[in-house]
Structure 1
């Protein structure tokens, strides 16, 4: 693996860093001010659309998609340092570049498994940033860490119409509160009694305005409603009907599609997490040199030295592991990089949570306030120890892979 960034990556990094300094960081306070004046907390501040227009004008758009027909054509290794930069302002930067979850994963699903009509109707407006989407998988009634537990039913209509009938309840459906969210990719069971538990599930496209679809409430994360990401909603599907042509891929292919979707999603989260850690280190250092306690600057306290040094070492380790994983995904495919994807998904969130926690401690009361982004960064990082598979599931799988060598 070559650790040097190639010319295209360096060019995009320079452009993106300038974009962050000139547009994104100043927009953080503006977005909060505008949101306070909106009729609904879920309405989009005007500055977000301004950021999107400027990012698109500068060619900083759809950087996550390796398919040149639809995206920037970057490899995972090229995209990694760019996603890291956006992680420094996770509430604005990914959205500004049209590189925000869950839309990224949904666009990847549609590029790989959608038919031409589905691409035209849903992928094209998603690529253009005209609409948003949601991925409806997690359920409140079952342990969703095991995707085979899903209970939502996707059944053929019994009245002779060429439709599916979807019945079930989902929650923590990211982006579903966003007024621009127009489409759900819903995972449920089309063959609940099938012999192969990994062929029981399918995915269907369900427009938000479909009768029988109810977005019941916003779910909070550590007290945050996460307005910038469009919230995390509880959604009920009560005999919602869609044409069978809304099936994504084939019946029974839902589990495989979910795995294909989650691999890139996991590494994207880890890329952004490193950026979140870098923001926390920057804030920690600025605080340390600007505050005095017990007769000297915080920057002169030995424990603060330890926190900063440990944070720097940790970030450098994480970055190398994430870059190695990206390189493997590019060279041997997602399946070949499976162990490394699990490793970064285990290591990165927990380490970044610790770094942010130290930064909060250094800021005192300010660290848990709305005056700094640290509390919100903490909530986001801590949630990623659960999202896209909890740590324990990845640990179980990775340990079994290791033990297999000795059995």
Structure 2
């Protein structure tokens, strides 16, 4: 097996690492200070727009899209180490390079399933970073870990107009609070009584300014509002009407589109999580060599050495599994890599949460403060044990696949 990165990946890694050192890390404190002076907490601090302009100038833009017509044309294996680097500053770097969720998944959906009109109207401005978007699937009234449970209705208008009428309530809709969010991809049921529960759902494009669409409130995550990614919102669709031409793909294709969207989304999250873990290890080491307790440096305390050693071993294990998964997705497709995608989705968030937890412990009170990024990184990593399918759903599916060999 060849573990070396190819020439293009190495070249992009070098440029991206330099971009992080020269622009992103110095901007973290600047963005924090600028945000405090904004009229709306959901606006981008001016430094974010400066970062986006610089990243685009350097060609560090839309790196996630494997379709060369729309993005960088990188394979999953090529993109993995780049996403890891951006994960070291998850509030700024993904947005700066136009590689932030949920826009990434929405762009992939439009590129793969959208028609030419939809691509021109919504995909092109998303690729240019001119607008933001949201993906509306999760609902508060049902267990959304089972996507067949969703209750939002997408019905043909009864008055003879060529429109869909959308009624339902969604929550934790990422990106919906951002003032530049102009479009929702909404998943609902067009055939709620259909015999195949995986053919009942469809996806439609709903502009945010559509009458009947109300962003009711921002949803917090451990007290954080995730401003840089446009927050998370509870959204009500009260008989919102859109043209039937806003359907993505075909009626009944929503579940399949969701699965196609979530495969790359899951591995992208895991790639960035490894970067978060690397940042945590760096902070642990810097703290350990700079602080003294009970007569000696923390770096000389056996328990601290164990934490750092364990973290390094765990990150190396995770990285190998993520890279194998990326390689399989490139060579045998998402379906062929299904087991590995589920494995990384189970293993990566929970392991990184553990690493961040020890990093917080090593920093004492500072670890839970705003003076270090650890608490916010922890909140983000812990959320990913729920997002894109909770751990237990993936464990259930993975166990069934293993048991099937023996039945």
Per the normalisation by structure 2, the TM-score is 1.00
Distance (Å, rounded) in 1 between the aligned partners of 2:386 and 2:145: 8
Instruction: List 4+ stretches of structure 1 deviating above 2 A.
Output: none
SS at match of 1:354: helix
Q: CA deviation at 1:43?
A: 1.1
SS at match of 1:348: helix
Q: CA deviation at 1:180?
A: 0.5
SS at match of 2:125: helix
Can you list the C-alpha shifts for 1:311-359, whole angstroms capped at 9, x where unaligned?
A: 0000000000000000000000000000000000000000000000000
SS at match of 1:205: strand
Q: Does 1:359 pair with 2:359?
A: yes
Distance (Å, rounded) in 2 between the aligned partners of 1:24 and 1:174: 23
SS at match of 1:197: coil
Distance (Å, rounded) in 2 between the aligned partners of 1:160 and 1:27: 54
Q: CA deviation at 1:3?
A: 1.1
1:23 corresponding residue in structure 2:
23
SS at match of 1:276: helix
SS at match of 2:4: coil
SS at match of 1:313: helix
Distance (Å, rounded) in 1 between the aligned partners of 2:44 and 2:190: 36
More divergent stretch after superposition (1-10 vs 331-340): 1-10
Distance (Å, rounded) in 1 between the aligned partners of 2:325 and 2:395: 17
Distance (Å, rounded) in 2 between the aligned partners of 1:33 and 1:230: 18
Distance (Å, rounded) in 2 between the aligned partners of 1:194 and 1:181: 33
Distance (Å, rounded) in 2 between the aligned partners of 1:223 and 1:49: 26
Count of aligned pairs = 407
2:390 corresponding residue in structure 1:
390
Q: CA deviation at 1:279?
A: 0.3
Distance (Å, rounded) in 1 between the aligned partners of 2:112 and 2:59: 23
Q: CA deviation at 1:174?
A: 0.3
Can you list the C-alpha shifts for 1:127-186, whole angstroms capped at 9, x where unaligned?
A: 000000000000000000000000000000000000000000000000000000000000
Can you list the C-alpha shifts for 1:80-109, whole angstroms capped at 9, x where unaligned?
A: 000000000000000000000000000000
Q: CA deviation at 1:268?
A: 0.1
Distance (Å, rounded) in 2 between the aligned partners of 1:10 and 1:142: 45
Can you list the C-alpha shifts for 1:246-285, whole angstroms capped at 9, x where unaligned?
A: 0000000000000000000000000000000000000000
Distance (Å, rounded) in 2 between the aligned partners of 1:303 and 1:50: 42
Distance (Å, rounded) in 2 between the aligned partners of 1:34 and 1:333: 43
Q: Does 1:6 pair with 2:10?
A: no
Q: CA deviation at 1:44?
A: 1.1
> Which runs of 5 or more structure 2 residues have no equivalent in the other structure?
none
SS at match of 2:126: helix
SS at match of 2:164: strand
SS at match of 2:239: strand
Write out aligned runs for 1:295-310 (5 A): 295-310=295-310
1:166 corresponding residue in structure 2:
166
User: Please, what is the CA RMSD of the aligned residues?
Assistant: 0.4
Distance (Å, rounded) in 2 between the aligned partners of 1:396 and 1:3: 31
Q: CA deviation at 1:375?
A: 0.1
Distance (Å, rounded) in 2 between the aligned partners of 1:283 and 1:398: 34
Distance (Å, rounded) in 2 between the aligned partners of 1:145 and 1:346: 14
Q: CA deviation at 1:378?
A: 0.1
Q: CA deviation at 1:2?
A: 2.4
Write out aligned runs for 1:50-65 (5 A): 50-65=50-65
Write out aligned runs for 1:131-280 (5 A): 131-280=131-280
Per the normalisation by structure 1, the TM-score is 1.00
